[in-house]
Amino acid sequence: MSFNDTMKALSDPTRRAILDFLKEGSMTAGDLAAKFDMTGATVSHHLSQLKKAGLVAEKREKNFIYYSLNASVLEELFLWVKNLKGE
């Protein structure tokens, strides 16, 4: 994970929407695809970028992969912004 990957991932509105859905709990890629008008491959691409940035974690259970929000990366980002502001 790098700061640049995190900022790039957060710059996309679809990825931010995915994070909003995941704050409610773990979901599969199929669950997320059903919430958007896009293909599963497109959702998988967005999830890949979010994983690369460390914003999303995955957990395999039988034939499914569940994605969840990794809030620790967001906390680090907020601390950086807070320090930037001098608070």
Domain that residue 16 falls in:
3-85
- Measured at the alpha carbon of residue 72, what is the angle toward residues 65 and 45, in degrees to the nearest 5? 40
pLDDT value at residue 1: 55
* Chunked mean pLDDT (size 10), the chain, 87 residues: 83 96 94 89 94 94 94 83 80
Cα 87 to the chain's mean position, in Å? 27
What is the domain-level CATH number for residue 37?
1.10.10.10
What per-residue confidence (pLDDT) applies to 87?
67
Q: Give residue 75's pLDDT.
A: 83
Locate the DSSP E strands across 1-87.
27-28, 56-61, 64-69
* Cβ atoms of 12 and 52 closer than 8 Å: no
Report the SS3 class of residue 7.
helix
* Tally of structural domains, the chain: 1
Q: Would you say 22 and 66 are in contact if contact means Cβ atoms under 8 Å apart?
A: no
